[in-house]
């Protein structure tokens, strides 16, 4: 199963940059989207179906903001919209699809970059996300958590770890949370397989950051450790330019 996660920073904007052609070319089995920034009635659902995908959308209540989606060639056994926590579900941040014993989540962690209130919201989310996924593992032990985590875990994951150490997304407390979370029995699939530096999934629109590869790796496929024997490959696709993010890929054997 080829699973791709992509923060499209507005699905309608990405479609205008030939998202459909890109999907047709890369041909994922499951495509997890974040930051769709659209209501369901604003999305060309039939065009996604014409590509061969069942598609499930979980928009934020606020128009033009946040939201997640899962597109799949195989119809899931079950789709769960949200975590049952209104503060997060109102922002469309967590969408799960079950395929037999496997569950794939499209998740969009909050950013704290807009100020102290949202940073506090983000830290509360991180605690609640941990508790929710730990409970979820009891019934759904084979998890793929795909999405924009809005955190660089290690210094290798960011172009300038010194100057960004006081910036939301690379704060010590965020990085410490990531370490604690992985230690519960999860693996960062990309870093498990790829040890080279300068591998990023997001670049600021400012200062020609993408062309200079001054980026951050904040998009992940995190799997439960029991799935490590099924992990075949993981990679980043920086040549895809529908967004300020790029897609990240993981291949999971049946």
What's the pLDDT tens digit per position in 9-18?
A: 999 999 999 9
Residue 56 three-state SS: strand
Q: What is the pLDDT of residues 229-242, one digit of tens each?
A: 999 999 999 999 99
CATH topology of domain 2-252: Deoxyribonuclease I; Chain A (3.60.10)
Q: How far is CA 36 from CA 12, 120, 247, in A?
A: 8, 23, 14
Residue 254 pLDDT: 81
Full-model pTM: 0.98
* Structure confidence by residue, pLDDT tens digits, 64-81: 999 999 999 999 999 999
HEC string of 115-166? CHHHHHHHHHHHHHHHHHHHHHHHHCCEEEEEEECCCCCCHHHECCCCCCCC
Per-residue pLDDT, averaged over 186-201, amounts to 98
Instruction: Compute CA 108 distance to the chain's CA centroid, rounded to the nearest angstrom.
Output: 6
The catalytic residue positions are: 148
Average pLDDT over residues 193-203: 98
List, for residues 82-122, the tens digit of each pLDDT value.
Answer: 999 999 999 999 999 999 999 999 999 999 999 999 999 99
Sheet bearing 142-148, strands edge to edge: 78-81, 94-99, 102-108, 142-148, 219-224, 186-188
> Residue 250: its pLDDT value, please?
98
Residue extents of the structural domains in the chain: 2-252
């Amino acid at each position: 199963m080829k699973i791709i996660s992509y923060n499209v920073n507005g699905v309608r904007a990405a479609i205008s940059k030939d998202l459909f052609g890109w999907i047709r070319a890369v041909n994922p089995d499951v495509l997890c989207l974040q930051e769709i920034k659209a209501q369901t009635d604003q999305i060309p659902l039939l065009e996604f179906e014409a590509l061969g995908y069942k598609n499930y959308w979980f928009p934020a209540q606020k128009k033009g903001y946040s939201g997640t989606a899962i597109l799949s060639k195989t119809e899931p056994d079950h789709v769960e919209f949200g975590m049952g926590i209104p503060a997060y579900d109102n922002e469309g941040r967590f969408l799960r699809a079950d395929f037999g014993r496997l569950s794939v989540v499209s998740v969009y962690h909050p950013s704290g970059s807009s100020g102290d209130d949202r940073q506090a919201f983000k830290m509360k989310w991180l605690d609640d996300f941990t508790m929710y996924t730990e409970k979820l593992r009891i019934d759904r032990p084979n998890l793929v958590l795909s999405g924009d985590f809005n955190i660089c875990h290690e210094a290798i994951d960011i172009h300038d770890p010194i100057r960004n150490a006081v910036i939301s997304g690379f704060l010590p407390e965020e990085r410490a949370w990531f370490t604690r979370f992985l230690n519960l029995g999860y693996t960062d699939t990309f870093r498990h397989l790829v040890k080279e530096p300068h591998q990023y999934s997001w670049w600021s629109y400012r200062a020609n950051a993408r062309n200079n590869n001054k980026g951050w790796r904040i998009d992940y496929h995190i799997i439960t450790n029991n799935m490590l024997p099924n992990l075949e490959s993981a990679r980043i696709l920086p040549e895809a330019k529908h967004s300020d993010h790029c897609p990240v890929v993981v291949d999971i054997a049946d």
